[in-house]
Structures are given as structure tokens and as C-alpha cells.
Amino acid sequence: MTTDLWRFAQELYQQPGVEAACLRLQADGADVCLLLCAAWLERRQIDCNATRAEALRQLAQPWQQQVVVPLRQLRQSWREQATDDEALALLREQVKQLELAAERQQLQRLAQCSEAWPRAGASTSAQWLDALAPKPANRDALQTLRIAATQLNA
């Protein structure tokens, strides 16, 4: 099984329905990197508890708000203009690559935070997606992530 969170996230995101589910959750205020980490932790059967969930939130939130979101907003603000401006389209693609690099860095930080956490026992909880999703969350989108993660061959 893949233990590298970045690779897992890339593979999961390519599964049918996952991109759309992530975009729905993001539109509702979710941190998609945090949810991809949640799916990874569930897949690895890592015990979920409030202290661990809060540690991940506290790690993710500043990076998401100070780095990822501003890059995303800039890229999205240029979408329409870039269709008629080749130079701006190139710059927009470069911003997209920076946004992906920032997301990768966030996932690496989340993986480092959780690397020492042991697997859950049969009777313990590994419901990371529920713990880290915004409230209320799109249940169908969360279920799409959960099912796709369990079906990965990684």
C-alpha cells in the first residue's frame, strides 16, 4: 500500500467522481488537502480522536489560508482574461503550478504530523473524513472520497 500521502492524493483525485466531490466540498469551505489526508488516514486505519484531528486542523489552517487560498484566488481571477491573453495564460499556469506545490507541501506537513500514529484496533474509530470535514458536510461527496480511497490498488 502506498504510504506517501502526495502519491495517494494524486491517485485518489484521479478516481471517477473524486475531483467533482472535492470541488463540491471545497465550495462548502472544506480544505481538500485535509480531506485527502483524512482519506489516507482512514485507508491506513489510523485511530481518529479529537486531539489528533485538532492537531491536523491547526497545522493545515494557517498554510491553507496564507498560502494555498491566495494562490488559488489569483489563478481563478485570471481565468476569463487568460482565454484571450497568451502571456497571462502562461502566468496563470505558473501560478497553478505554485498552488500545486503549496498543496504538496501541506500534505507533506500533514503526513509528518501523523507518521507516528499507530493503526487502530478493530474496535476503535478511523472516521477521519467525518472528523475533518466542515459542518455540515456534503455526505455524498464524503462518501465518494471514502469509497474511492478503499478501492485504490495503491
Q: Which residue has the cell 463540491?
A: 24
pLDDT in the model for residue 121: 67
Cα distance between residue 154 and residue 80, in whole Å: 37
pLDDT at 153: 74
pLDDT at 84: 96
Q: Are 24 and 144 in contact (CB under 8 A)?
A: no
The one-letter amino acid code at 5 reads: L
Domain that holds residue 84: 5-151
Give the pLDDT of residue 88.
97
CB 109 within 8 A of CB 30: no
Q: Which residue has the cell 503526513?
A: 111
Opening angle at CA 53, ends 45 and 122, nearest 5: 25
- Identify the pLDDT of residue 130: 92
Which residues, 6 or more positions from 25, have their beta carbon under 8 angstroms from its beta carbon?
Answer: 32, 35, 133, 134, 137, 138, 141, 142
Q: pLDDT at position 136, please? A: 84
Residues of the chain with pLDDT under 70: 1-3, 121-126, 154
Total domains in the chain come to 1
